[in-house]
Structure 1
Amino acid sequence: MKNTKLRIVWIIPNVFCYLILFGLSVWVVVNGKVLQEFNTLYIYVIFMFLQLLVSVLGSYRIWTWIKEGKM
């Protein structure tokens, strides 16, 4: 474990990305019918997919940095 402060600086925003994804998913499920009536459900589904992509790629990048010994 090289630098724990650097790990924390990168991991905390990544955790918040997952929390945002979870909150957005719950909100879309609760308000799904209303969003479908206004034809905006697909936009929120695309945003959820993009947020998932950002979160997973961020986790992967942090994991590779740790494995390479940069963090």
Structure 2
Amino acid sequence: MSIDKDLLDRLMEGRSPGDLFGKEGILSELTKALAEELTKALAERALSTELDEHLSEERAQEPPEGQNQPA
């Protein structure tokens, strides 16, 4: 992944290393935001996969159309 140098220049402009890398710095905020988005995306993907598998198992267990189920 390539990061635009102009973006880096704008982020660094007028900021100290502490502003960038400190506990409350930009990098910390970006890391938190990225971690939250990644966690959300992974959870949604895992749930979607689980649901797809569950539904495909249910469809596989259904009798073909036109066949009566035993009572």
TM over 0.5: no
Give the greater-gyration-radius structure (CA): 2
**TM bucket, shorter chain:** 0.3 to 0.5
Structure with bigger RCO (C-alpha 8 Å, 6+ apart): 1
TM-score (norm 2): 0.45
Q: Which has the higher helix share?
A: 1
- What is the TM-score normalised by the length of structure 1? 0.45
